[in-house]
Amino acid sequence: MTLTTPKLLMSKDPSDFYTLLGDDVVERFNGNFEDVSKPLWLNIGFWKEARSYPDACRAMAALVGEAADLQDADTVLDAGCGFAEQDIFFVEEFGVRRIVGIDITPQHIEVGQQRLRNLGLDDRIQLAVGSALRTGNPDGSFDKVIALESAFHFDTRDEFFREAFRVLRSGGKLVLADMLPGAGEQFSGLIRSLARKRACVPRANMYDRVSYVRKLTSAGFVEADVKSIAGFTYPGMARYIHHRVKKGGSYDDQLDALSRDDIENIAGLELWKSSLGVSDYIIATARKP
């Protein structure tokens, strides 16, 4: 079954979308987890210096970790953790003491838990099926809350902001890597509406980075900051998708470096703009006072 199935147009559950994706972020390349060495990243990567998809995903996780100022004493909530690939990275590269990962896709949690057991990290990273909007954690439980390319699915992102504020300790930090429309851009139309429904992106989440700051502030956060990194995300991922789909390449092949023109003109953006209606990719940070 491919992601063109009508079932996805009737589903409001992103877990259906990600279950069909399986072990690959590119449609139709689900290997059913037969290659145990295959990284299970699910973001589009930060391609400023990276030349392969796994390296770009690690670079994105590093960017988020640095924005969060992850420390070895931190307790972190990862909302929309996927297979916990970034959580393994946060523990290994930043020395984070404890991470709680939640995701609404049971397959992500089942596979992720087994990988953590195999790596001996299940004492530091705990995964559970759950909603980012109602985490079930007590007030003030976490030093940091992270949502790495997941919040655009949350119904709604605004509600997640309020939940993140609740579970953060005073002084705690929220960091997101997120996709959204550009300022003043139109995202209407039947094709885009169907594409967003298929990918479970609520219309209520379709606002630009100026509104993003305002909504973080309305949720109670201070020092809200939103920076665009679109030129280092969409061009690299568009090139990677072309390499996999058109050239039959592997997930870990080395690709050409992005040119200045690729970055400045956000090459390949039409893949996302013409379907979902998103054209910006941001790193957002905010602090609970």
pLDDT at 131: 97
Tell me, yes or no, whether 192 lies in a domain. yes
CB under 8 Å to 11, separation ≥6 — which residues? 17, 200
Per-residue pLDDT of 231-285, as tens digits, reads 999 999 999 999 999 999 999 999 999 999 999 999 999 999 988 899 999 999 9
Higher pLDDT pick, 193 / 161: 161
Q: What is the 3-state secondary structure (H, E, C) of 43-60?
A: CCCCCCCCCCHHHHHHHH
Tell me, yes or no, whether 113 lies in a domain. yes
pLDDT at 117: 98
Per-residue pLDDT of 207-224, as tens digits, reads 999 999 999 999 999 999
pLDDT at 12: 67
Cα radius of gyration (the chain): 18
Tell me, yes or no, whether 172 lies in a domain. yes
CATH of the domain at 206: 3.40.50.150
pLDDT at 4: 44
To the nearest 10 degrees (0 to 180), the angle between helices 14-21 and 106-119 is 50
Tokens of 194: 């169907």
Q: How many domains does the chain have?
A: 1
Tell me, yes or no, whether 135 lies in a domain. yes
CB under 8 Å to 259, separation ≥6 — which residues? none
Per-residue pLDDT of 90-140, as tens digits, reads 999 999 999 999 999 999 999 999 999 999 999 999 999 999 999 999 999
- Can you tell me the distance from the alpha carbon of 64 to that of 4, in angstroms, rounded to the nearest whole number? 32
Tell me, yes or no, whether 1 lies in a domain. no
Tell me, yes or no, whether 55 lies in a domain. yes
Tell me, yes or no, whether 2 lies in a domain. no
Tell me, yes or no, whether 67 lies in a domain. yes
Place of tokens 């790596």: 119
Can you give the residue range of the structural domain that contains 25?
Answer: 7-287
